[in-house]
Structure 1
Amino acid sequence: MDFPLITDWQFYAVSIPAVLLLGLSKSGFGAGFGSLAVPIMALSVTVPQAAAILMPILFVMDMLGLAAYRKEFDRKLLKFLLPMGLLGTVIGTLLFRTLDPRFVAGLVGVFTLLFLAQRVLFPPKADSPPPPRWWGAILTTTSGFTSFVAHAGGPPISAYVLPLKLAPITFAATMSVFFTVMNLSKWAPYAWLGLLDMRNMATSIALLPLAPVGVLAGVRMARRIQPWLFFRLVHIGMFLTGCKLVYDGFIK
Protein backbone atom coordinates (compact mmCIF):
# COMPACT_ATOMS: atom_id res chain seq x y z
CA MET A 1 0.00 0.00 0.00
CA ASP A 2 1.42 3.37 -1.03
CA PHE A 3 1.85 6.01 1.66
CA PRO A 4 -0.83 8.66 0.94
CA LEU A 5 1.57 11.57 0.62
CA ILE A 6 3.79 12.97 -2.12
CA THR A 7 7.37 12.33 -1.00
CA ASP A 8 9.31 13.58 -4.05
CA TRP A 9 11.74 16.29 -2.88
CA GLN A 10 11.43 18.09 -6.23
CA PHE A 11 7.71 18.60 -5.56
CA TYR A 12 8.46 20.34 -2.27
CA ALA A 13 11.29 22.37 -3.83
CA VAL A 14 8.72 24.11 -6.03
CA SER A 15 5.69 23.86 -3.71
CA ILE A 16 7.20 25.61 -0.67
CA PRO A 17 7.92 28.90 -2.52
CA ALA A 18 4.57 28.57 -4.30
CA VAL A 19 2.70 28.35 -0.97
CA LEU A 20 4.62 31.33 0.43
CA LEU A 21 3.76 33.42 -2.64
CA LEU A 22 0.14 32.38 -2.28
CA GLY A 23 0.17 33.48 1.35
CA LEU A 24 1.55 36.86 0.34
CA SER A 25 -1.26 37.17 -2.17
CA LYS A 26 -3.95 36.07 0.29
CA SER A 27 -3.01 38.98 2.53
CA GLY A 28 -4.11 41.18 -0.39
CA PHE A 29 -0.64 42.69 -0.60
CA GLY A 30 0.78 40.69 -3.51
CA ALA A 31 -2.40 40.33 -5.51
CA GLY A 32 -0.61 39.36 -8.69
CA PHE A 33 1.86 36.92 -7.17
CA GLY A 34 -0.71 34.38 -5.97
CA SER A 35 -1.57 33.34 -9.52
CA LEU A 36 1.96 32.00 -9.85
CA ALA A 37 1.34 29.27 -7.25
CA VAL A 38 -0.35 26.70 -9.48
CA PRO A 39 1.97 27.26 -12.49
CA ILE A 40 5.01 26.83 -10.22
CA MET A 41 3.61 23.65 -8.65
CA ALA A 42 2.69 22.40 -12.13
CA LEU A 43 6.43 22.00 -12.75
CA SER A 44 6.07 18.84 -10.63
CA VAL A 45 2.37 17.79 -10.73
CA THR A 46 -0.62 18.39 -13.01
CA VAL A 47 -2.57 21.66 -12.82
CA PRO A 48 -5.75 20.02 -11.41
CA GLN A 49 -3.70 18.18 -8.76
CA ALA A 50 -1.87 21.38 -7.78
CA ALA A 51 -5.19 23.21 -7.48
CA ALA A 52 -6.62 20.44 -5.28
CA ILE A 53 -3.57 20.31 -2.99
CA LEU A 54 -3.87 24.04 -2.37
CA MET A 55 -7.52 23.93 -1.26
CA PRO A 56 -7.04 23.29 2.50
CA ILE A 57 -4.07 25.68 2.50
CA LEU A 58 -6.24 28.36 0.92
CA PHE A 59 -8.90 27.81 3.57
CA VAL A 60 -6.43 28.49 6.40
CA MET A 61 -5.02 31.51 4.57
CA ASP A 62 -8.50 32.87 3.92
CA MET A 63 -9.42 32.64 7.61
CA LEU A 64 -6.21 34.48 8.55
CA GLY A 65 -6.93 37.17 5.97
CA LEU A 66 -10.49 37.65 7.22
CA ALA A 67 -9.27 37.98 10.79
CA ALA A 68 -6.77 40.66 9.76
CA TYR A 69 -9.15 42.67 7.52
CA ARG A 70 -12.60 42.02 9.02
CA LYS A 71 -13.50 45.74 9.27
CA GLU A 72 -11.76 47.31 6.27
CA PHE A 73 -13.34 45.86 3.12
CA ASP A 74 -15.60 47.78 0.73
CA ARG A 75 -19.05 46.27 1.39
CA LYS A 76 -20.79 48.04 -1.50
CA LEU A 77 -18.18 46.89 -4.01
CA LEU A 78 -18.36 43.30 -2.77
CA LYS A 79 -22.14 43.24 -3.32
CA PHE A 80 -21.37 43.76 -7.00
CA LEU A 81 -18.30 41.51 -7.24
CA LEU A 82 -19.44 38.37 -5.42
CA PRO A 83 -22.42 37.34 -7.63
CA MET A 84 -20.27 37.77 -10.76
CA GLY A 85 -17.44 35.76 -9.25
CA LEU A 86 -19.80 32.94 -8.21
CA LEU A 87 -21.15 32.85 -11.76
CA GLY A 88 -17.57 32.22 -12.86
CA THR A 89 -17.37 29.29 -10.41
CA VAL A 90 -20.48 27.74 -11.97
CA ILE A 91 -19.04 28.15 -15.47
CA GLY A 92 -15.74 26.64 -14.34
CA THR A 93 -17.52 23.63 -12.82
CA LEU A 94 -19.47 22.94 -16.02
CA LEU A 95 -16.47 23.35 -18.35
CA PHE A 96 -13.68 21.89 -16.17
CA ARG A 97 -13.55 18.51 -17.89
CA THR A 98 -13.67 19.94 -21.41
CA LEU A 99 -11.12 22.77 -21.19
CA ASP A 100 -7.35 22.42 -21.17
CA PRO A 101 -6.20 24.29 -18.02
CA ARG A 102 -2.97 25.27 -19.81
CA PHE A 103 -4.94 27.04 -22.54
CA VAL A 104 -7.02 28.88 -19.95
CA ALA A 105 -3.84 29.88 -18.10
CA GLY A 106 -2.34 31.18 -21.33
CA LEU A 107 -5.39 33.34 -22.06
CA VAL A 108 -5.29 34.78 -18.55
CA GLY A 109 -1.62 35.62 -19.09
CA VAL A 110 -2.29 37.39 -22.39
CA PHE A 111 -5.06 39.57 -20.95
CA THR A 112 -2.97 40.32 -17.87
CA LEU A 113 -0.09 41.62 -20.00
CA LEU A 114 -2.44 43.61 -22.24
CA PHE A 115 -3.96 45.30 -19.18
CA LEU A 116 -0.53 46.19 -17.82
CA ALA A 117 0.60 47.53 -21.20
CA GLN A 118 -2.46 49.77 -21.32
CA ARG A 119 -1.75 51.03 -17.79
CA VAL A 120 1.90 51.79 -18.57
CA LEU A 121 1.48 53.29 -22.04
CA PHE A 122 -1.78 55.16 -21.34
CA PRO A 123 -1.84 55.74 -17.57
CA PRO A 124 -5.19 56.95 -16.22
CA LYS A 125 -5.46 60.60 -15.25
CA ALA A 126 -6.33 61.67 -11.74
CA ASP A 127 -9.86 62.60 -12.83
CA SER A 128 -10.42 59.51 -14.99
CA PRO A 129 -13.85 57.91 -14.45
CA PRO A 130 -13.98 54.39 -12.99
CA PRO A 131 -14.32 51.47 -15.44
CA PRO A 132 -17.92 50.75 -16.54
CA ARG A 133 -19.89 48.18 -14.54
CA TRP A 134 -20.42 45.91 -17.54
CA TRP A 135 -16.65 45.63 -17.94
CA GLY A 136 -16.34 44.90 -14.24
CA ALA A 137 -18.97 42.15 -14.55
CA ILE A 138 -17.03 40.48 -17.38
CA LEU A 139 -13.69 40.69 -15.60
CA THR A 140 -15.09 39.50 -12.26
CA THR A 141 -16.85 36.53 -13.86
CA THR A 142 -13.59 35.72 -15.64
CA SER A 143 -11.82 35.96 -12.29
CA GLY A 144 -14.22 33.46 -10.72
CA PHE A 145 -13.72 31.10 -13.66
CA THR A 146 -9.91 31.27 -13.74
CA SER A 147 -9.81 31.03 -9.96
CA PHE A 148 -11.77 27.78 -10.18
CA VAL A 149 -9.65 26.28 -12.96
CA ALA A 150 -6.17 27.24 -11.73
CA HIS A 151 -6.43 29.55 -8.66
CA ALA A 152 -5.47 32.35 -11.07
CA GLY A 153 -8.28 34.81 -10.40
CA GLY A 154 -6.11 37.72 -9.27
CA PRO A 155 -5.18 39.36 -12.60
CA PRO A 156 -8.69 39.68 -14.12
CA ILE A 157 -10.32 41.21 -11.06
CA SER A 158 -7.30 43.44 -10.41
CA ALA A 159 -7.77 44.85 -13.91
CA TYR A 160 -11.16 46.15 -12.76
CA VAL A 161 -10.53 47.04 -9.11
CA LEU A 162 -7.12 48.73 -9.42
CA PRO A 163 -8.49 51.65 -11.52
CA LEU A 164 -11.08 52.28 -8.77
CA LYS A 165 -8.18 53.78 -6.74
CA LEU A 166 -9.05 52.22 -3.41
CA ALA A 167 -6.73 52.78 -0.46
CA PRO A 168 -4.19 49.94 -0.22
CA ILE A 169 -5.71 48.52 2.95
CA THR A 170 -9.24 48.65 1.47
CA PHE A 171 -8.04 47.00 -1.74
CA ALA A 172 -6.28 44.26 0.26
CA ALA A 173 -9.30 43.65 2.50
CA THR A 174 -11.80 43.58 -0.37
CA MET A 175 -9.69 41.11 -2.35
CA SER A 176 -9.29 38.98 0.75
CA VAL A 177 -13.05 38.70 1.30
CA PHE A 178 -13.76 38.14 -2.41
CA PHE A 179 -11.35 35.23 -2.76
CA THR A 180 -12.43 33.71 0.55
CA VAL A 181 -15.95 33.37 -0.86
CA MET A 182 -14.62 32.13 -4.22
CA ASN A 183 -12.48 29.46 -2.56
CA LEU A 184 -15.29 28.27 -0.29
CA SER A 185 -17.51 27.92 -3.37
CA LYS A 186 -15.00 25.48 -4.93
CA TRP A 187 -15.13 22.75 -2.28
CA ALA A 188 -18.29 20.97 -3.40
CA PRO A 189 -17.45 21.12 -7.14
CA TYR A 190 -13.88 19.93 -6.52
CA ALA A 191 -15.23 16.98 -4.50
CA TRP A 192 -17.77 16.22 -7.24
CA LEU A 193 -14.97 16.25 -9.83
CA GLY A 194 -12.94 13.78 -7.75
CA LEU A 195 -10.01 16.10 -7.04
CA LEU A 196 -10.06 15.94 -3.23
CA ASP A 197 -8.52 12.47 -2.80
CA MET A 198 -6.52 11.21 0.20
CA ARG A 199 -3.11 11.69 -1.43
CA ASN A 200 -3.76 15.32 -2.30
CA MET A 201 -5.23 16.12 1.12
CA ALA A 202 -2.35 14.44 3.01
CA THR A 203 0.16 16.41 0.93
CA SER A 204 -1.74 19.60 1.65
CA ILE A 205 -1.56 18.94 5.40
CA ALA A 206 2.22 18.55 5.11
CA LEU A 207 2.44 22.02 3.55
CA LEU A 208 -0.10 23.60 5.89
CA PRO A 209 2.39 25.00 8.49
CA LEU A 210 3.64 27.41 5.79
CA ALA A 211 0.20 28.98 5.42
CA PRO A 212 0.48 31.72 8.09
CA VAL A 213 3.97 32.85 7.12
CA GLY A 214 3.22 34.58 3.83
CA VAL A 215 -0.15 35.88 5.00
CA LEU A 216 1.20 37.57 8.12
CA ALA A 217 4.15 39.04 6.22
CA GLY A 218 1.82 40.42 3.56
CA VAL A 219 -0.59 41.93 6.11
CA ARG A 220 2.28 43.76 7.81
CA MET A 221 3.51 45.17 4.50
CA ALA A 222 0.03 46.19 3.32
CA ARG A 223 -0.50 48.25 6.49
CA ARG A 224 2.84 50.03 6.32
CA ILE A 225 3.69 50.49 2.65
CA GLN A 226 3.16 53.71 0.68
CA PRO A 227 0.27 53.53 -1.83
CA TRP A 228 2.45 54.21 -4.91
CA LEU A 229 4.84 51.41 -3.96
CA PHE A 230 1.99 49.06 -3.07
CA PHE A 231 0.40 49.30 -6.51
CA ARG A 232 3.76 49.18 -8.27
CA LEU A 233 4.51 45.88 -6.57
CA VAL A 234 1.04 44.61 -7.53
CA HIS A 235 1.84 45.49 -11.15
CA ILE A 236 5.17 43.66 -10.94
CA GLY A 237 3.37 40.61 -9.59
CA MET A 238 0.87 40.78 -12.44
CA PHE A 239 3.67 41.12 -15.00
CA LEU A 240 5.49 38.05 -13.68
CA THR A 241 2.23 36.15 -13.51
CA GLY A 242 1.29 37.11 -17.06
CA CYS A 243 4.67 36.03 -18.46
CA LYS A 244 4.60 32.72 -16.61
CA LEU A 245 1.03 31.92 -17.65
CA VAL A 246 1.69 32.77 -21.30
CA TYR A 247 4.79 30.56 -21.26
CA ASP A 248 2.92 27.66 -19.68
CA GLY A 249 -0.11 28.02 -21.92
CA PHE A 250 1.39 28.63 -25.36
CA ILE A 251 5.16 28.05 -25.35
CA LYS A 252 6.11 25.29 -22.93
Structure 2
Amino acid sequence: MDLFALRYWKPTTWSKPDLLALLPGLVVGIGLGAYVLKGFDRHAIEIAMAAITILFAGLWWRGGNPVTERPRSLPKAIVAGTASGVTTMVAHSGGPPLAMYLLPLGLPKQIYAGTTSLFFTIGNLMKAAPWLMVAPRSSSFWGLMLLCLPAAGLGVWAGWHLHQRLDQAQLYRACYALLTITAVKLL
Protein backbone atom coordinates (compact mmCIF):
# COMPACT_ATOMS: atom_id res chain seq x y z
CA MET A 1 0.00 0.00 0.00
CA ASP A 2 2.78 2.38 0.89
CA LEU A 3 4.37 2.19 -2.54
CA PHE A 4 0.99 2.77 -4.20
CA ALA A 5 0.38 5.74 -1.89
CA LEU A 6 3.66 7.45 -2.82
CA ARG A 7 2.27 7.80 -6.33
CA TYR A 8 -0.29 10.26 -4.92
CA TRP A 9 1.54 11.79 -1.98
CA LYS A 10 4.53 13.51 -3.56
CA PRO A 11 7.32 15.35 -1.66
CA THR A 12 5.33 18.60 -1.85
CA THR A 13 2.79 16.99 0.52
CA TRP A 14 5.30 16.01 3.21
CA SER A 15 5.88 18.13 6.31
CA LYS A 16 9.63 17.84 6.42
CA PRO A 17 10.05 19.50 9.86
CA ASP A 18 7.58 17.06 11.38
CA LEU A 19 9.12 14.05 9.68
CA LEU A 20 12.59 15.06 10.90
CA ALA A 21 11.23 15.24 14.45
CA LEU A 22 9.15 12.02 14.25
CA LEU A 23 11.48 9.61 12.43
CA PRO A 24 14.17 9.18 15.13
CA GLY A 25 11.45 8.09 17.56
CA LEU A 26 10.04 5.74 14.92
CA VAL A 27 13.42 4.00 14.62
CA VAL A 28 13.68 3.59 18.39
CA GLY A 29 10.04 2.50 18.64
CA ILE A 30 10.38 -0.21 16.01
CA GLY A 31 13.42 -1.55 17.87
CA LEU A 32 11.51 -1.51 21.16
CA GLY A 33 8.50 -3.06 19.45
CA ALA A 34 10.60 -5.95 18.13
CA TYR A 35 11.80 -6.55 21.69
CA VAL A 36 8.27 -6.20 23.10
CA LEU A 37 6.99 -8.82 20.65
CA LYS A 38 9.18 -11.40 22.34
CA GLY A 39 8.41 -10.67 25.96
CA PHE A 40 5.17 -8.75 26.46
CA ASP A 41 1.51 -9.46 25.92
CA ARG A 42 0.59 -7.56 22.76
CA HIS A 43 -3.06 -7.47 23.87
CA ALA A 44 -2.11 -5.40 26.92
CA ILE A 45 -0.39 -2.90 24.64
CA GLU A 46 -3.45 -2.82 22.37
CA ILE A 47 -5.73 -2.12 25.34
CA ALA A 48 -3.49 0.69 26.62
CA MET A 49 -3.28 2.23 23.14
CA ALA A 50 -7.07 1.97 22.74
CA ALA A 51 -7.74 3.69 26.07
CA ILE A 52 -5.38 6.56 25.28
CA THR A 53 -6.85 6.92 21.79
CA ILE A 54 -10.44 6.98 23.05
CA LEU A 55 -9.51 9.66 25.58
CA PHE A 56 -7.75 11.76 22.93
CA ALA A 57 -10.59 11.48 20.38
CA GLY A 58 -13.25 11.91 23.06
CA LEU A 59 -11.73 15.18 24.22
CA TRP A 60 -11.74 16.46 20.63
CA TRP A 61 -15.36 15.41 20.05
CA ARG A 62 -16.38 16.98 23.37
CA GLY A 63 -14.57 20.20 22.49
CA GLY A 64 -16.72 20.92 19.45
CA ASN A 65 -14.55 19.46 16.67
CA PRO A 66 -12.18 22.37 16.06
CA VAL A 67 -9.38 22.19 13.50
CA THR A 68 -6.68 23.65 15.72
CA GLU A 69 -3.25 25.00 14.94
CA ARG A 70 -0.97 24.30 17.86
CA PRO A 71 2.78 24.81 17.74
CA ARG A 72 5.16 21.93 17.07
CA SER A 73 6.86 20.26 20.00
CA LEU A 74 10.04 18.24 19.57
CA PRO A 75 9.49 16.22 22.79
CA LYS A 76 5.91 15.38 21.75
CA ALA A 77 7.11 14.41 18.26
CA ILE A 78 9.74 12.07 19.69
CA VAL A 79 7.21 10.46 22.04
CA ALA A 80 4.65 10.13 19.22
CA GLY A 81 7.22 8.69 16.82
CA THR A 82 8.41 6.19 19.43
CA ALA A 83 4.89 5.17 20.45
CA SER A 84 3.92 4.80 16.81
CA GLY A 85 6.97 2.62 16.17
CA VAL A 86 6.15 0.34 19.09
CA THR A 87 2.46 0.02 18.26
CA THR A 88 3.02 -0.47 14.53
CA MET A 89 5.49 -3.23 15.28
CA VAL A 90 3.38 -4.94 17.94
CA ALA A 91 -0.19 -4.42 16.74
CA HIS A 92 0.08 -2.95 13.23
CA SER A 93 -1.63 0.09 14.70
CA GLY A 94 0.84 2.95 14.66
CA GLY A 95 -1.70 5.44 13.35
CA PRO A 96 -3.18 6.67 16.64
CA PRO A 97 0.07 7.97 18.21
CA LEU A 98 1.02 9.69 14.95
CA ALA A 99 -2.44 11.22 14.59
CA MET A 100 -2.31 12.44 18.19
CA TYR A 101 0.76 14.46 17.27
CA LEU A 102 -0.15 15.61 13.75
CA LEU A 103 -3.89 16.39 14.04
CA PRO A 104 -3.50 19.11 16.71
CA LEU A 105 -1.02 20.91 14.43
CA GLY A 106 -3.90 21.74 12.06
CA LEU A 107 -1.86 20.84 8.99
CA PRO A 108 -3.55 21.30 5.61
CA LYS A 109 -5.24 18.05 4.63
CA GLN A 110 -2.75 17.27 1.83
CA ILE A 111 0.22 17.81 4.15
CA TYR A 112 -1.36 15.68 6.88
CA ALA A 113 -2.05 12.81 4.47
CA GLY A 114 1.30 13.04 2.68
CA THR A 115 3.29 13.19 5.92
CA THR A 116 1.39 10.21 7.33
CA SER A 117 1.93 8.27 4.12
CA LEU A 118 5.69 8.82 4.01
CA PHE A 119 6.06 8.18 7.75
CA PHE A 120 4.45 4.74 7.41
CA THR A 121 6.26 3.93 4.19
CA ILE A 122 9.55 4.42 6.04
CA GLY A 123 8.29 2.61 9.13
CA ASN A 124 6.94 -0.36 7.22
CA LEU A 125 10.16 -0.74 5.27
CA MET A 126 12.09 -0.67 8.55
CA LYS A 127 9.87 -3.18 10.33
CA ALA A 128 9.53 -5.60 7.42
CA ALA A 129 12.62 -7.68 8.26
CA PRO A 130 12.06 -7.95 12.03
CA TRP A 131 8.35 -8.62 11.58
CA LEU A 132 8.91 -11.30 8.96
CA MET A 133 11.30 -13.02 11.38
CA VAL A 134 8.40 -13.61 13.79
CA ALA A 135 5.63 -14.05 11.18
CA PRO A 136 4.34 -17.47 10.21
CA ARG A 137 6.15 -18.98 7.26
CA SER A 138 3.35 -20.78 5.51
CA SER A 139 2.26 -20.80 1.91
CA SER A 140 -1.20 -19.60 2.99
CA PHE A 141 0.41 -16.53 4.62
CA TRP A 142 2.25 -15.58 1.42
CA GLY A 143 -0.82 -16.42 -0.66
CA LEU A 144 -2.93 -14.08 1.44
CA MET A 145 -0.37 -11.31 0.98
CA LEU A 146 -0.48 -11.76 -2.80
CA LEU A 147 -4.27 -11.87 -2.78
CA CYS A 148 -4.41 -8.57 -0.89
CA LEU A 149 -2.04 -6.76 -3.26
CA PRO A 150 -4.71 -5.65 -5.79
CA ALA A 151 -6.99 -4.57 -2.94
CA ALA A 152 -4.19 -2.39 -1.56
CA GLY A 153 -3.84 -0.47 -4.81
CA LEU A 154 -7.60 -0.10 -5.14
CA GLY A 155 -7.89 1.07 -1.53
CA VAL A 156 -5.24 3.75 -1.98
CA TRP A 157 -6.89 4.95 -5.19
CA ALA A 158 -10.32 5.11 -3.48
CA GLY A 159 -8.82 6.91 -0.47
CA TRP A 160 -7.18 9.47 -2.72
CA HIS A 161 -10.46 10.23 -4.48
CA LEU A 162 -12.34 10.47 -1.18
CA HIS A 163 -9.62 12.78 0.15
CA GLN A 164 -10.10 15.09 -2.83
CA ARG A 165 -13.83 15.40 -2.07
CA LEU A 166 -13.53 16.22 1.63
CA ASP A 167 -12.80 19.70 2.91
CA GLN A 168 -10.43 20.28 5.83
CA ALA A 169 -13.11 20.05 8.56
CA GLN A 170 -14.67 16.92 7.04
CA LEU A 171 -11.29 15.22 6.79
CA TYR A 172 -10.48 15.97 10.42
CA ARG A 173 -13.89 14.63 11.53
CA ALA A 174 -13.21 11.49 9.46
CA CYS A 175 -9.76 11.10 11.03
CA TYR A 176 -11.11 11.40 14.57
CA ALA A 177 -13.95 9.00 13.73
CA LEU A 178 -11.44 6.49 12.35
CA LEU A 179 -9.29 6.91 15.47
CA THR A 180 -12.33 6.06 17.57
CA ILE A 181 -13.12 3.01 15.40
CA THR A 182 -9.49 1.89 15.56
CA ALA A 183 -9.52 2.17 19.35
CA VAL A 184 -12.71 0.13 19.60
CA LYS A 185 -11.20 -2.49 17.28
CA LEU A 186 -8.07 -2.63 19.46
CA LEU A 187 -10.26 -3.23 22.51
TM over 0.5: yes
After superposition, residues 128-207 of structure 1 pair within 5 angstroms as 129-130=70-71, 132-207=73-148
Q: 1:180 to 1:169 in 2, by over 3 A?
A: same
Deviation track 1:25-55 (CA, whole Å, cap 9, x = no partner) reads xxxxxxxxxxxxxxxxxxxxxxxxxxxxxxx
Q: Contact 1:131–1:163 (CA<8 Å) still a contact in 2?
A: no
Deviation track 1:92-111 (CA, whole Å, cap 9, x = no partner) reads 11121111121111111101
* Alignment partners' CA distance in 1, 2:49 and 2:111: 25
Q: Which amino acid aligns with 2:4?
A: L
Alpha-carbon distance, 1:135 to partner: 2.2
Alpha-carbon distance, 1:124 to partner: 8.6
Q: Which moved more, 1:86-95 or 1:172-181?
A: 86-95
Alpha-carbon distance, 1:134 to partner: 1.4
More helix by share: 2
Deviation track 1:184-229 (CA, whole Å, cap 9, x = no partner) reads 0112112333545433112211222211111101111212311000
List alignment gaps of at least 5 residues for structure 1. Answer: 1-60, 247-252
Equivalent residue for 1:26? none
Q: Which amino acid aligns with 1:121?
A: R
Scaled by the length of structure 2, the TM-score of the pair is 0.91
Equivalent residue for 2:4? 64
Q: Which amino acid aligns with 1:217?
A: A
Two-structure CA RMSD over aligned residues (Å): 2.0
* Alignment partners' CA distance in 2, 1:142 and 1:123: 27
Equivalent residue for 1:213? 154
List alignment gaps of at least 5 residues for structure 2. Answer: none
Aligned residues: 186
Q: Contact 1:64–1:215 (CA<8 Å) still a contact in 2?
A: yes
Q: 1:128 to 1:167 in 2, by over 3 A?
A: closer
Scaled by the length of structure 1, the TM-score of the pair is 0.68
Q: Contact 1:88–1:145 (CA<8 Å) still a contact in 2?
A: yes
Q: Percent identity over the alignment? A: 28
Equivalent residue for 1:91? 32
* Alignment partners' CA distance in 2, 1:178 and 1:74: 10
* Alignment partners' CA distance in 1, 2:147 and 2:47: 30
SS in 2 for 1:97: helix
Equivalent residue for 1:238? 179
Deviation track 1:65-120 (CA, whole Å, cap 9, x = no partner) reads 11111131111211111111111100011121111121111111101001112223
* Alignment partners' CA distance in 1, 2:38 and 2:81: 22
Q: Which amino acid aligns with 1:239?
A: T
* Alignment partners' CA distance in 1, 2:102 and 2:152: 26
Equivalent residue for 2:49? 108
Deviation track 1:151-186 (CA, whole Å, cap 9, x = no partner) reads 100111101100111000110000000000010011
